[in-house]
Amino acid sequence: DSGVTQTPKHLITATGQRVTLRCSPRSGDLSVYWYQQSLDQGLQFLIQYYNGEERAKGNILERFSAQQFPDLHSELNLSSLELGDSALYFCASSVEGLGEETQYFGPGTRLLVL
Amino acid sequence: GESVGLHLPTLSVQEGDNSIINCAYSNSASDYFIWYKQESGKGPQFIIDIRSNMDKRQGQRVTVLLNKTVKHLSLQIAATQPGDSAVYFCAAQANQAGTALIFGKGTTLSVSS
């Protein structure tokens, strides 16, 4: 158990809908990362937050947004969902969100868009 | 952009054998590398990491070797056990490019007893 928690574990929804994925980092970690894992693209970095502020952005679609709250939990919002958004979404956390820090991953949310 | 790739998508070994999983990266500015293990239905689990100022690091039954000249790293698992069966990912980070980890596609390790 990495100490990172994610809810829900599974999510089934329809195209055009909006969903929110939630992540709580390990105790003491200030930085949260979101990754998407699909069969064809592998694990891809989406976005990083540090202590409530966006720190880095990766291949995140404009339909997707995230935020980190004062209690350090984070939410990833996915809107106008398409079939191709079906994937595993992982949250990871690290202490400072700087380079050369281990990122610890949560168990993921499996999203299925029908 | 940077890419990280694994040499073999699958590796099958017998219990007790040593396993070697190889990985290549493209960005010579990569300076931090992590190996993760992912079991079915779970998130990536940290195994071992190595910084670019090292060429070898050992953990419990695992060793990571880094060859910066040819931009290659490997994960060696000693006395492989059935519980080691999983998908293994290498990830690279170039500090100049931020903190995002660039992941390879993964090698599926199957251990038969």
Query: Which strands make up the sheet holding A74-78, listed edge to edge?
Result: A5-7, A19-24, A74-78, A64-68
Residue B6's pLDDT is what?
64
Model pLDDT for residues B48-106, shown as the tens digit of each residue: 999 999 999 999 999 999 999 999 999 999 999 999 999 999 999 987 667 889 998 89
Model pLDDT for residues B99-108, shown as the tens digit of each residue: 889 998 899 9
Partner residue facing A106 (CB), from B31, B43, B99? B43
Return the structure tokens found at B84: 């080691």
**pLDDT class of B2 with cuts at 50, 70, 90:** low
Model pLDDT for residues A43-63, shown as the tens digit of each residue: 999 999 999 999 999 989 999
What kind and span of H or E run contains A56?
A: strand A53-57
Q: Chain A: nearest CA to B95, how far in angstroms?
A: 5
**Which residues, other chains included, contact A21 with Cβ-Cβ below 8 Å and sequence gap of 6+?**
A6, A7, A8, A11, A75, A76, A77, A78, A89, A91, A109, A111
Residue B72's pLDDT is what?
94
Minimal Cα distance from B105: which residue of A?
A42
The single-letter DSSP state of residue A91 is E
B86/A contact by beta carbon, under 8 A? no
Half-sphere exposure of A31 (CA within 13 A, CB side): 19
CA distance B63 to B78: 8
Partner residue facing B42 (CB), from A48, A98, A107? A107
Return the structure tokens found at A41: 């693209």
B1/A contact by beta carbon, under 8 A? no
What percent of chain A stands above pLDDT 70?
100
A2/B contact by beta carbon, under 8 A? yes
Model pLDDT for residues A25-45, shown as the tens digit of each residue: 999 999 999 999 998 778 999
Q: Chain B: nearest CA to A17, how far in angstroms?
A: 25
Model pLDDT for residues A75-114, shown as the tens digit of each residue: 999 999 999 999 999 999 999 888 888 999 999 999 999 9
